[in-house]
Amino acid sequence: MEIALQQMVNGLTVGAFYALIALGYTMVYGIIRLINFAHGDIYAVGAFFGLSVYGLLAFLHIENPVLTTLLALVVSMGCTGLLGVLLYRVAYRPLLHARLSILISAIGVSLTLEYGLFLIYSPSFLVYPHLFGRAGPSLGSIQISWLQAVIFVSSIVLMTALYLLVHRTKIGMAMRALAINQDAARLMGIDVNRVIGLTFFLGSTLAAFAGVLTGLYYSQISFLMGFLVGLKAFTAAVLGGIGNIPGAVLGGFLLGILEGLAAGYFSSRWKDVVAFGILIIILVVRPRGLLGERVVERM
């Protein structure tokens, strides 16, 4: 039981990363029906940008851990968000109406980002600054580090903010309108390209946030870190019901917990198989996911 609870705490932390990345998949899919293959790598780019900011601040002798972390988060989120918009404009926008081509273009973007990081930064693991120790409150024998608590709470805050943005603001209404019918939305005077661009921006900033926190949590990052995590975040999005924002959050946390339990009770070497097994079963048994609506293929 203690193993289960401890694994659930760890699973909630990893689940927060999955949920933050899954939101990017789900928003983009909801609006332009694209599985953005490169989204996992956007998350990796966010982690590397964050590392660069830490490096720069250390060079300038700014060493307050809270201040540097906030700066790393904000700068990395901004830059990664802009990169997301740029990639949309260059690699996706011209292919919006070619389903197969745009997916292959997305694979190309994924490889470009991975090996771009490989060349610019390093082919091996890079070490993140070790700012926050393992200390924290303990409930009985269950250890929770402050970092885990911060990751969990800040992710929830960001997700709530996103939910409010999509459901309570005018731009959010435009996004939802696009998801329902792009042509009708354009006729209503919505600047379709700007709204899609904003969607890519928001998704990329959330991924970058997850990337920097991943670096702090695992204290190391590599250029390929986004591939597997991206796949699992997509799994989470599908699990919750793709196109659905609360679904992505639920799917992310659920996948994190299931994976944590699988690692605790079987072996961590098989936890990826558990994740992909869940993906295949969900797609076969309930393709619309836990909270999703029925989607009919009509392209």
The binding site for other proteins (CB under 8 A) comprises 33, 35, 90-91, 94-95, 98-105, 107-116, 118-119, 227, 231, 234-235, 238, 269-270, 272-273, 276-277, 279-280, 283-284, 287, 295, 297
Nearest distance, CB of residue 252 and other proteins, angstroms:
16
Nearest distance, CB of residue 161 and other proteins, angstroms:
28
Closest to other proteins by CB, 73 or 282: 282
The closest of 119, 87, 121, 118 to 224, measured between CA atoms, is 118
Closest to other proteins by CB, 89 or 186: 89
Closest to other proteins by CB, 100 or 139: 100
Which residues, 6+ apart, have CB-to-CB distance to 238 below 8 Å?
251, 279, 282, 283, 289
Tokens representing 165 are 């943005």
Closest to other proteins by CB, 168 or 269: 269
Nearest distance, CB of residue 213 and other proteins, angstroms:
25
Q: At what angle do helices 65-87 and 192-218 cross, to 10 degrees?
A: 140
Burial 37-69 (b: 16+ CB within 10 A, else e): bbbbbbbbbbbbbbbebbeebeeeeeeeeeebb
Nearest distance, CB of residue 30 and other proteins, angstroms:
13
